[in-house]
């Protein structure tokens, strides 16, 4: 039961972060530049890769897809932890993929983001690791 709860907590943290981030992507000004001229420039300039989009559209799309990934992880691993825990905890593949996901987010949050997501993902990572350990005892 402890392993299930810890895994659900890990998944729930990422689910919550994903939902908050998706909300911020499409509502409010939290993810807009402080300098409005930067947003104007981003909406007028295309990346080198293609002229079919702008840097602003790419920014919004990257933020939305990033959020959807966290939501998907949270939903799948939360579901597996609570309703299919035998499948989750017996699958080395699922445990390694989950660890890689949370670990990757932890590294990204440390290098590129700010303290709130970093510390939230630290807690998620700790819960994930403790869950795996608890499932083995």
Q: What angle do CA 89, 91, 94 make, to 5 degrees?
A: 95
Position 137 pLDDT exceeds 90: no
Q: Mind listing the pLDDT tens digit for each residue in 73-125?
A: 999 999 999 999 999 999 999 999 999 999 999 999 999 999 999 999 999 99
Q: What angle do CA 54, 59, 61 make, to 5 degrees?
A: 95
As a whole number, mean pLDDT of residues 121-137 equals 97
Position 70 pLDDT exceeds 90: yes
Is the pTM higher than 0.75? The answer reads yes
Q: Which of 10, 16, 7, 9 is nearest to 85 (CA)?
A: 7
Give the pLDDT confidence score for residue 136 in this predicted structure.
Answer: 93
Q: Mind listing the pLDDT tens digit for each residue in 30-62?
A: 999 999 999 999 999 999 999 999 999 999 999
As a whole number, mean pLDDT of residues 9-35 equals 97
Give the pLDDT confidence score for residue 62 in this predicted structure.
Answer: 97
Token representation of residue 16 = 């919550």
Instruction: Work out whether the CA dihedral 126, 124, 5, 74 comes out positive or negative.
Output: negative
């Amino acid at each position: 039961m402890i392993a299930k709860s810890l895994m659900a907590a890990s998944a729930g943290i990422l689910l919550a972060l994903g939902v908050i981030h998706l909300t911020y992507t499409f509502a409010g000004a939290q993810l807009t530049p402080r300098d409005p001229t930067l947003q104007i420039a981003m909406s007028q300039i295309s990346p080198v890769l293609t002229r079919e989009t702008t840097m602003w559209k790419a920014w919004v799309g990257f933020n939305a897809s990033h959020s959807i990934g966290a939501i998907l992880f949270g939903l799948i691993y939360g579901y597996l932890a609570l309703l299919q825990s035998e499948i989750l905890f017996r699958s080395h593949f699922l445990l390694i993929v989950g660890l890689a996901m949370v670990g990757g987010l932890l590294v990204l949050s440390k290098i590129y983001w700010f303290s709130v997501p970093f510390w939230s993902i630290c807690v998620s990572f700790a819960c994930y690791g403790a869950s795996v350990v608890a499932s083995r005892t």
